[in-house]
Amino acid sequence: MVEIPEGVTVQVEGQRLTAKGPQGEVQRSFPKVATVKVEGNKVEVSAKDRALAGTLQSLVSSMIEGVSTGYKRNLKILYAHFPVSIEIKGKDILVKNFLGEKQPRKTMLVGDTKLEAKGQDVTVSGPDKEAVGQTIANLRTIMKIKAKDARVFQDGIYEVEG
């Protein structure tokens, strides 16, 4: 049982759960093996397998926490050789001048995630925990250094606080 706080609404349509709150909306589909019910101000998740039920209950809990308070991760761009900048164009993220490259490296924002870049400080926030984490993983992936000594070239994006 997961309790629903004030200001958050949860709806179940078939196997799809939708949570809406002040920070936004998150939707997730659940497997047919599990049943999800909303009773009053609680969400009940049940499945034959206890491990699956616990996992799904945790997912529902993180959905409700995300739409009520949101998730925010602070990152920092570190460089020793060339000053790096991040530019956001719609859903595209462009990393310019990474290791002195002429072409910017490109990735995408996932879901309703917002990215703010001020100098070396980058903030990734959104209501969906998985989308925020995947956006950060996309940034780390495109800023991976290949064919150079990792002890010398430690340029990249690093998490400061979660």
**Which H/E stretch holds residue 77?**
strand 71-78
Note down the domain range covering 12. Answer: 2-68
- The phi, psi pair for 156, rounded to 5°, reads 160, -165
pLDDT of 2-31, one tens digit each? Answer: 999 999 999 999 889 999 999 999 999 999
End-of-domain residue from the set 68, 96, 126: 68
Structure tokens at 147: 């064919």
In the numeric block, the tokens 């034959």 are attached to 48
Instruction: Give the percent of the chain with pLDDT over 90.
Output: 85
Q: How many domains does the chain have?
A: 2
Give pLDDT, residue 162: 53
Q: Report the CATH number that the domain containing residue 59 is assigned in CATH.
A: 3.90.930.12
Structure tokens at 5: 């706080």
pTM: 0.89
Question: Do residue 151 and residue 122 come from a single domain?
Answer: yes
Give pLDDT, residue 37: 92
End-of-domain residue from the set 48, 68, 88: 68
How many CB atoms neighbour CB 151 within 10 A? 6
